[in-house]
Structure 1
Amino acid sequence: MSEGKIVFEYCDKLVQKFEEVIEKPIINGSSVYYTGVDLGTACVVVAVLDENYEPVAGAYRYADVVRDGMVVDYIGAIRIVREMKQELEQKLNTELIYAAAAIPPGTDALDSGAIKNVVQAAGFELTCILDEPTAANAVLRMQNGAVVDIGGGTTGISVLKDGKVVYVVDEATGGTHFSLVISGAYGMSFKEADLFKRDNRNHKEILPVLKPVVEKVSSIINNNIRDYDVREISLVGGTCCLTGIEEIIQKQTGVYTHKPKNPMFVTPLGIALSCTKDILE
């Protein structure tokens, strides 16, 4: 096993456990539950961990309440998070009290208040708001590497040195661009293209069509990591679910590129790992 694969062993195992409990929640009588709420551009994910910070339940829902990290449908976001909270409470036969949330780096002055209000209005006691790359690295556990978060409208790159974020950038090009290319190539509406893209049965067919966009993402990565000692890259975010995207990026960057089984779940799990019982004032 390569050094890179060993680094991400914990991440891959945690994501696999989380996928399992989404389908079959674990009712174990935990004394407390810690929840991570991830309001993504295309998908809202809620992850629930027990007192030992092990996954016991989770849910996700595709939604259009956030764009590029900013809440654009405040009432809709509250409704979705509240409904997911109630659904998970019923499955676990308990009340979920504590939750943490995250925001894209550099947006704390712009939207952290909205994220905080959404989580609290949904019925949680908020314990922490952190930036997304720090949350993701709670799961990835990288020391000297880069977290590449391909979101709906942008690609966010966070460079880590000795486990700490030392450089962050967000540049245009993301899942929206993938959908636009598919829409043009297949004569579909944007909505149809977005759904077509999500179906992994179509990935082999659409990868050659999307290769120029993935190469653009790779060039963004190259331009922003060249001054740093980046030994591995980890892909997170729902857009990275595209089968084969990691192979193109690794070839273009020359850096070992890791993709979890489901990169959409890395950040919400990291958010949940950062949750405590200390209420945020």
Structure 2
Amino acid sequence: MAEQSAPETIDDATATGAVLRPGRAADPVPGTTQTALNAAQRTAALQTIEDEATEDSAEAAPAEQGDDDASVGAKGDIEQTLAESRQRKLRLILRQCDRVLLMDFKLLAMSDWPDNYEMAAARRSRDLWVFSALIAASIFLSGLTGFIPAWIAGGGFGAFVIILLLGVPFVRRVYTGKPSYLDLVFKRQRLLKDARKHIEHLEGKDGLIWQCARMAEHNPALKHTRFSDLVRLSEQRILVRNITRREYVRLYLIYLLEAEKAYSRVQQAFFEGNEEAIDKGWRSVAAEPVERT
């Protein structure tokens, strides 16, 4: 049994490539050295590939970082350009529409404007005065023709003179404090004339409200169609000559009030943009507005 197992062991060892010899270790299998060499070469090759990949990654990282910095810088330049353009536009609007702040509300509102009731009452008093004077004059003329006695004609003449004196302004102020119809008409004309002078001063040579129409972005009320005629006439420099009624003056006043609101919002937006530019270090954007000469 032992003899049979020994050859089997030797055969198995031979089959696996190792030769068992008494007194020393088994001889290596032929080709094992070559296999180890190939494994070492593969390990060295893999290590070389890993080193090259590490070097490529190290070289690519600064390049990618440079690209990111370039994109961030380009984005910052675009933002600065847009901010500078916006600030320039706001500065131009503030410069062209600053005469809105010179508006005299009381002068354009014409709060002392005589209303229709006062005009009607004064007209009725005037008609009564004229009618009385005509009756007295008729009595006097009738006495000259002999239709009525002379003493009645003389009384008519005296009444006619007194009635005429009552119509004289300084005599009229003695017995009544109410203005006459003629006084009210002159007052209306004077108020309208003063308002037109003020509008002419505000409009200047270049016009005002058509330039304020650019602020419609900050106050949509400036886009209302009821202001379209005023804007068109202002752009054509013929607005003042077409202001002939109080309704036009009041419409002009309403537009200026809306423009004043828009001007305040534009001014606030300009200051906020200026502060933001200062915080980000954009000196060209944060430039001070040019002073008017």
TM-score by length of 2: 0.21
Q: Which has the higher strand share?
A: 1
In our comparison, the structure showing a higher alpha carbon Rg is: 2
Q: By percentage of residues, which structure has more helix?
A: 2
Return the TM-score normalized by structure 1. 0.21
